[in-house]
């Protein structure tokens, strides 16, 4: 449509894909091209904005190809998380880079790992155990000193800390940037997301850190079926993002 931004067009096309019936699988073979693109019966796959779906590593290309090959009767985008992230990286991470970085930094301004409980002691211990290493890593590796607080009101982080994180974020390649953005929205922590993308923390340890408060509530009040189902969906997305950035970084 005329007057649409890249972001608006991408969202409209993605929404249309979700709302319309799933297309039937129309291809027999899926291959990775010499340029690390994906071909269906020899025809190159395009992103929603009609760019070539070309991946930065052979390992990611093979994994994306496997998602296409795993479709049986219908093509279900929800079962293709790596493809979805790759599309977003190609279509949005360059044109909308400043916007994506700003959204990540907005989370960082009130990062989850900086807001601590004063009690009970068991929760305080869990938060310190899981979150202190993230704060320490940001300070040592990113030169970004974030300060935790036990107040419920917003604590403004230093301009120097936010600028150091920003310098790291804007230097990310498009595929890592998209992964960090997705991980940030899933966990509520830009610092944790950045640490995962840098492969400085195991995925299972990061997931535990992202769910300290929720796990404490479950231990205290028990599980809720709907919340458990939502958490399972979040875990699938989280694992997909962590795997995506790892595969994208591997070079042949």
Please list the rounded mean pLDDT of every run of 10 residues in the chain (252 residues). 58 60 94 97 96 96 97 93 97 94 96 96 97 98 96 91 97 96 97 97 97 94 88 93 91 54
CB 22 within 8 A of CB 46: no
**Per-domain boundaries in the chain:** 6-79, 97-249
> Where are the extended beta strands (E) located within the chain?
30-32, 38-40, 43-44
State which H helix or E strand residue 200 sits in.
Answer: none
Q: What's the confidence (pLDDT) of residue 96?
A: 94
* Alpha-carbon span 132 to 202, nearest angstrom: 15
User: Can you name the CATH fold of 6-79?
Assistant: ATP12-like (3.30.2180)
Cα Rg for the chain, rounded, in angstroms? 20
On the question of a common fold for 6-79 and 97-249, the answer reads: no
Q: What's the confidence (pLDDT) of residue 7?
A: 62
Q: What's the confidence (pLDDT) of residue 151?
A: 86
The CATH number assigned to the domain with range 97-249 reads 1.10.3580.10
* Alpha-carbon span 162 to 65, nearest angstrom: 38
CB 180 within 8 A of CB 169: yes
State which H helix or E strand residue 176 sits in.
Answer: helix 174-187
* Alpha-carbon span 223 to 220, nearest angstrom: 9
Which residue, 79, 83, 42, 35, is CA-closest to 56?
A: 35
* Alpha-carbon span 78 to 85, nearest angstrom: 11
Crossing angle of the two packed helices 203-210 and 225-249, in degrees rounded to 10: 140
Which residue, 240, 248, 197, 252, is CA-closest to 54?
A: 248
Q: What's the confidence (pLDDT) of residue 227?
A: 86
């Amino acid at each position: 449509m005329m007057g649409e931004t890249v972001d608006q067009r991408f969202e409209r096309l993605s929404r249309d894909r979700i709302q319309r019936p799933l297309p039937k699988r129309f291809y027999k073979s899926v291959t990775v091209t010499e340029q690390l693109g994906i071909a269906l019966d020899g025809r190159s796959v395009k992103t929603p904005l009609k760019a070539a779906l070309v991946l930065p590593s052979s390992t990611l290309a093979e994994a994306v190809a496997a998602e296409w090959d795993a479709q049986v009767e219908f093509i279900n985008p929800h079962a293709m998380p790596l493809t979805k992230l790759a599309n977003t990286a190609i279509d949005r991470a360059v044109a909308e880079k400043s916007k994506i970085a700003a959204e990540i930094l907005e989370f960082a301004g009130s990062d989850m790992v900086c807001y601590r409980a004063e009690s009970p002691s068991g929760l305080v211990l869990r938060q310190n155990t899981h979150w202190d290493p993230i704060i320490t890593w940001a300070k040592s590796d990113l030169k970004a000193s974030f300060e935790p607080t036990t107040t419920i009101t917003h604590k403004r982080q230093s301009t120097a800390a936010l600028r150091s994180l920003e310098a790291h974020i804007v230097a990310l390649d498009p595929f890592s940037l998209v992964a960090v953005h997705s991980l940030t929205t899933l966990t509520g922590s830009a610092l944790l997301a950045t640490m995962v993308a840098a492969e400085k923390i195991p995925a299972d340890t990061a997931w535990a850190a992202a769910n300290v408060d929720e796990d404490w509530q479950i231990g205290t009040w028990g599980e809720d079926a709907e919340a458990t189902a939502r958490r399972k969906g979040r875990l699938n997305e989280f694992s997909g993002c962590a795997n995506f950035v790892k595969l994208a970084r591997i070079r042949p």
